[in-house]
Amino acid sequence: MASRTSSDAAVSRRGRHGHGVAELMADRAYAQLRDRIVTLRIPPGAPIDEESLGSELGIGRTPVREAIKRLALENLVAVFPRRGTFASEINITDLADISDVRIQLEGHAAYRAAQRIAPRQREELRELLAELARSEGSDDAAALMELDACVHRFVHRASGNPYLEETLGRYFNLSLRIWHLVLDRLPQLPARVRQHQELLEAIGARRPERAREVMAEHIETFEREIRSVL
C-alpha cells in the first residue's frame, strides 16, 4: 500500500506538470527501490544491481539510475566509483536527531493539512480511516507499518507544501529503516498505528492545533518505544 499510494501521487504530480514517460518511470523506480530499502528487503550494505533491478521491475536502466541518484541524495544508497551501488548502512544513534526534526516539521505538516486539505483528498482520508478500522485486531506488523507509512505520506501531501513534503519524505524514510530493524519487538505497534484515527479525524474536522499535537505525540511515543528495545 505504501508504495502504491506514494508512487501514484508522484505520477499524478508529474502528469499535472506535463512531464513525460521517462520521468514517470523514474518515479516508479524510485518508489519501488525506496520501499525495498526502507523495509530492509534490501538489507543495509547489500549491493544494488541496476541491470537486474530494471529487469525485475520491467523498466530500463535510465529510470533506475535516476532513482538511485535521488536515493543517494536521501542517504538511502551509497555509490562508490568502481565498486558499485549499495544500500546505506543504518546508524541507530541517528534516531534521536531524526525524531527531533520530524516532531517539529511533521507536526507542522499535520497543522497545515488540517488547514489546507483539498476536497479530492477527503476521499483518500476516508479510505485511510476505513483501512485503520479494518486493521483492528490485526497483529501483522508489516501490514501495520505499511498503513502507518500511507498515513504519514498522505499528511505530507495534504500539507500543500511540496518543499515540506520532500523534506519530510527524506527523514521519514530514514526513520522507517530503523523501525523495521525492531519491528518484531514492538508490542505496542497496533496501538501506535491506530493513533492515526484521531490524527485523521482532526485533519478532517479542520482542527490544526489538535492535529499537530496528535502527530507530535505519535512520533515521540514511537521513538521512546523503539529506544526501549534497541
Report the relative pairing of strands 84-87 and 47-48 from DSSP bridges: antiparallel
The fraction of the chain above a pLDDT of 70, given in percent, is 90
| Architecture of the domain whose range is 2-87 | Orthogonal Bundle (1.10)
Which pairs from 181-190 meet CB under 8 Å and 24+ separation?
181/40, 181/90, 181/92, 182/226, 182/229, 182/230, 183/141, 183/142, 183/145, 184/141, 185/229, 186/141, 186/225, 186/226, 186/229, 188/225, 189/141, 189/144, 189/145, 190/135, 190/138, 190/139, 190/144
171-208 pLDDT per residue, tens: 999 999 998 988 888 878 888 898 899 999 999 999 99
Q: In which residue ranges of the chain is CATH 1.10.10.10 found?
A: 2-87
In CATH, the number for domain 92-229 is 1.20.120.530
As a whole number of angstroms, the distance between CA 193 and CA 147 comes to: 8
pLDDT at site 57: 84
pLDDT at site 222: 87
24-79 pLDDT per residue, tens: 888 989 999 999 999 999 999 999 988 888 888 888 888 999 999 999 999 999 99
pLDDT at site 17: 45
Residue 223 reports pLDDT greater than 60: yes
pLDDT at site 164: 97
As a whole number of angstroms, the distance between CA 27 and CA 64 comes to: 9
Q: In which residue ranges of the chain is CATH 1.20.120.530 found?
A: 92-229
* In contact, 2 and 32? CB cutoff 8 Å: no
